[in-house]
Chains A and B, each alone.
Chain A
Amino acid sequence: MVKVYTSSVIDAPADRVWAHIRDFNGLPSWVPAVADSRIEGGVPADKVGCIRNFNLKDGGNLREQLLALSDYDYSVTYNILVSPMGVQNYVATLKLTPITDGDGTFAEWTAEFDCEPGREQELSDDIGNGVFQAAFDNLKRQLGGG
């Protein structure tokens, strides 16, 4: 089992950051690598169990299922059903915590998965830096902080 953990500080209140992250169908608006997204079966994007089907700008297609969504804890958990990355048993959680000292947000993204031996480091970097940190950087730009 490989574990990836990426965290950042976003200079905007947690409510505003959550407004972006909460939309399970909203990846194209804040994750740079994502080209488009739709929810399968036309169910609401905050219905736990719904599946988002999205395409990357480089052509890959993914299907991810919403496992948990908490407006109380500002957290979302999902797994990957289909992806071109070569990962199995992939479960990720993105969680926000308010920073009361200055009204910012502490954002944490964790993922756990299995993969072929020897690919652990490459996949950890791709996911931790290429996806998670890039998405945080994009959020910071959009929300006017750092």
Chain B
Amino acid sequence: MTRGAYPEVSRVFRSTVIDAPIEAVWAVLRDFNGHDRWHPAVEESHIEGVRAGDQIGAVRNFRLASGAQLREQLLELSDQHHAYTYCILDSPIPLVGYVAKVRLRRVTEGNRTFWDWRSSFSTPPGLEHALERLVAEDIYERGFAAVRALLSGRTAKETDGARPTSTPSRVPAGTIRCHAVVVDAHGGPDALQWRGIEVPAPVAGEVRIRQSAIGVNYIDVNIRAGRYPQFQAPLTPGVEAAGEVVDVGEGVAGILPGDRVAYACLPPGAYCQYRNLPSDRLVALPPAVSDEVAAALLLKGMTAEYLLRRAHRVRRGDMVLVHSAAGATGMLLCQWAKHLGATVIGTVGSEEKARAARDSGCDYPIVYTREDFVRRVQDITQGKGADVVLDGVGRDTLMKSLDALAMRGHLVSYGQSSGAPEPLDIGLLTAKSAKLSRPAVFHYTADPAELHASANQVFELLARGVLRATINQRAPLAEAGRVHRDLEGRQTTGASILVP
């Protein structure tokens, strides 16, 4: 048998134990065409021609949530061994010679089920690792989690063959009473009030989430203080959280109750225990990423991704200047820029923060309270200046950032923790043929495909140890005011999270 053009064979093996009898698990898995009823990655599936789903040789033709269309063929199926084998016929993902086997075994102790899913395939050189992970995590492990959720009593599946959008488990339950942090009038940290709220059942296209960790970002402070005219009180701040899907509204495909998810998006409203969100804003969490890490890292990680890969494309050997290099986003920028082969210069407010920045790969931390960072950058770069300056500070730094820039450099003003920058005479850019941009992360993650691509890169680098989640502040959600006070007072390093 030919393996295709690539000599190395990848093998993926994943296994789990499902707390249900083997007959129940087999009833879900046996239908070769039924995976769109349980696998979150599969949107729609049909069997080609007039074959039945358990007919050997049947071809299932299905679409993934990402839009990709695949064809797979059933090669063998055994009710005696609770097993089937299938192969890929057509796929936009280069998995060559992909043959997979699903096998269930009874765990006699406790009447549970052992589920073993394995495959072999070859890939274009260099893609082995990424595609092995894709198969192992996005297909096999996500499948395990979805079937486990499906079979856990709360979402007991019917046997009438109904589509997922109309099964009993998907009928939204009633209103949930819980608590949230509410801002009635914009102001300081005391404007954050702890209050009971009601979260209605999710409407069409929405998902209701029980949140377990909420990320704190500087934008929360700005929204609380009323610095964004489009977000007026009364409101609930917060743009980032992780948790578990409770129920889903009509028409939601690919997400099941029990799935672990995270989000980072506008409008604000994350400082609460339960929340409804449009399903296309959610990213599924890999098993290796905890809820707390996701809440601490998703928005900041995606910010680092779009700044270093898209708003600006950092290349090996670039001189990169990162302001607030010991802040949560700053540390991720240092880690990622270093990974890309850049020389990283960072500004920090203290010696302690300089150490934190250095730990994150910052080659030259500058304590700006003691040294003029513009002069130091000129020294370090032998008078050339920085190729790109990533400035999330705004008012206090923007003009100096321009001074620290190299000829034809790029000044990226992506935030304003010290306040909105003064109006800038664009004539000042002429002296260096400088480029100035004022991007926002939400414009780079609005498209679901870009959102997922960005989040996946963050999770991938996290798994490889390139990015590290540094959660140094953790507080109950009801004490959000204290966390805001520390953040505004520059008392924090790394990420802060709130626990509902």
Contacts of A106 on B, CB cut-off 8 Å? Answer: 15, 17, 105, 107, 114, 116
Chain B residue nearest to A140 (CB atoms) is B109
Residue A28 interfacial (CB < 8 Å): no
User: B residues within 8 A CB of A102?
Assistant: 16
Interface string of A100-130 (1 = CB under 8 A from B): 1110101010000000000000000000100
Residues A41-88 near B (CB distance < 8 A): none
Decide: A108 near B144, CB < 8 A? Known: A100-B13, A100-B16, A101-B16.
no
Q: Among A8, A98, A100, point to the contact of B109 (Cβ < 8 A).
A: A8
Min CB gap A27→B, angstroms? 20
B104 CB to nearest A CB, Å: 11
Tell whether, in the assembled complex, residue A101 and residue B15 are in contact, meaning their CB atoms are under 8 Å apart.
yes
Q: How many residues of A contact B (CB 8 A)?
A: 17
* Distance of A8 Cα from B114 Cα, bound (Å): 9
Bound CA span A9–B105, Å: 12
Are B14 and A101 closer than 8 Å at their CB atoms?
yes
Q: Is the CB of A97 within 8 A of B114?
A: yes
Nearest CB on B from A63, distance (A): 28
| Contact in complex: B108, A101 (CB < 8 Å) | no
CB atoms of A97 and B116 under 8 A apart:
yes
Q: Which residues of B contact A9 (CB under 8 A)?
A: 17, 107, 109-110, 112, 114
Any B CB within 8 A of the CB of A5: yes
Selected from B105, B109, B144, the residue in CB contact (under 8 A) with A101 is B144
Min distance, Cβ A111 to any Cβ of chain B, angstroms? 13
> Within 8 Å CB of A133, what residues of B?
108-109
B112 contacts across to A, CB distance below 8 A: 9
Smallest distance from the beta carbon of A96 to chain B beta carbons, Å?
Answer: 11
Residue B460 interfacial (CB < 8 Å): no
- The yes or no answer to B250 lying at the interface (CB within 8 A) is no
User: B196 → chain A, closest Cβ, in Å?
Assistant: 38
For the complex, give the distance between the alpha carbons of A119 and B15 in Å.
Answer: 37
Task: Determine whether B468 belongs to the interface, using a CB cutoff of 8 Å to chain A.
Answer: no
State whether the Cβ of A39 lies closer than 8 Å to any Cβ in chain B.
no
Task: Flag B14-40 by CB within 8 Å of A: 1 or 0 each.
Answer: 111100000000000000000000000
A53→B110 CA distance, assembly (Å): 33
Within 8 Å by CB of A8, from B14, B16, B108, lies: B108
Taken together as a complex, chains A and B put the C-alpha atoms of A100 and B144 apart, in Å, by: 11
* Contacting residues, chain B, for A101 (C-beta < 8 A): 14-17, 141, 144, 287
Confirm or deny: B106 has a beta carbon within 8 angstroms of a beta carbon on chain A.
Answer: yes
Find out whether the CB atom of A5 lies under 8 angstroms from the CB atom of B17: no
A99-B17 contact in complex given A6-B108, A8-B108, A9-B107, C-beta closer than 8 Å:
yes
* Contact of A136 with B109 at beta-carbon distance under 8 Å, contacts A101-B16, A101-B17 already known: yes
Q: Is A7 within 8 A of B15, CB to CB?
A: no
Bound complex: CA A128 to CA B105 (Å): 16
* CB of B379 to closest CB in A, whole Å: 50
Chain A neighbourhood of B15, CB < 8 A? 97-101, 106
Chain A neighbourhood of B110, CB < 8 A: 9
From B16, B109, B141, B144, A7 is in contact (CB under 8 Å) with B109
Residues on the B chain within 8 Å of A8, using CB = 107-109
- Mark each residue of chain A from 7 to 22: 1 if its CB lies under 8 Å from any CB of chain B, else 0: 1110000000000000
List B131-148 residues whose CB lies under 8 Å from chain A: 141, 144
* B114 & A7 in contact (Cβ 8 Å cutoff): yes
C-alpha gap A104/B13 in the complex (Å) = 14
Q: Which residue of B lies closest to A108 (CB)?
A: B105
Minimum distance in angstroms from B20 CB to a CB of chain A: 14
The chain B residue sitting closest to A98, CB to CB, is B15
B21 to chain A, nearest CB (A): 13
- With a CB–CB cut-off of 8 A, which chain B residues contact A104? 17
Interface residue from A5, A98, A128, A136 paired with B106 (Cβ < 8 Å): A5
Q: In the complex, what residue of chain B is closest to A132 when comparing beta carbons?
A: B108
Pair B13/A7 contact, Cβ less than 8 Å: no
A5 and B144 form a contact (CB under 8 A): no
Shortest CB-to-CB span from B93 to chain A, Å, is: 21
Contacts of A99 in B (CB 8 A): 15-17, 114
Q: CB-CB < 8 A to B14: which residues of A?
A: 100-101
Minimal beta-carbon separation of A117 from chain B (angstroms): 25
Could you tell me the distance between the alpha carbons of A102 and B109 in the complex, rounded to whole angstroms? 18
A7→B115 CA distance, assembly (Å): 13
A128 to B110 alpha-carbon distance, docked (Å): 14
Residue ID in chain A nearest B109 by CB atoms = A8
Write 14 A-B pairs (CB below 8 A) sorted by A numbering.
Answer: A5-B108, A6-B108, A6-B109, A8-B108, A9-B109, A97-B105, A99-B15, A100-B15, A100-B16, A101-B16, A106-B17, A128-B108, A133-B109, A136-B109
Name the 4 nearest CB pairs between A and B, nearest first: A101-B16, A8-B109, A106-B114, A100-B14
Other than the given A106-B116, A128-B108, 4 more pairs (CB < 8 A) read: A5-B108, A7-B105, A7-B107, A101-B144
Residues of B near any A CB (own CB < 8 A)? 13-17, 105-110, 112, 114, 116, 141, 144, 287
Q: Contact residues of A with B, CB < 8 Å? A: 5-9, 97-102, 104, 106, 108, 128, 133, 136
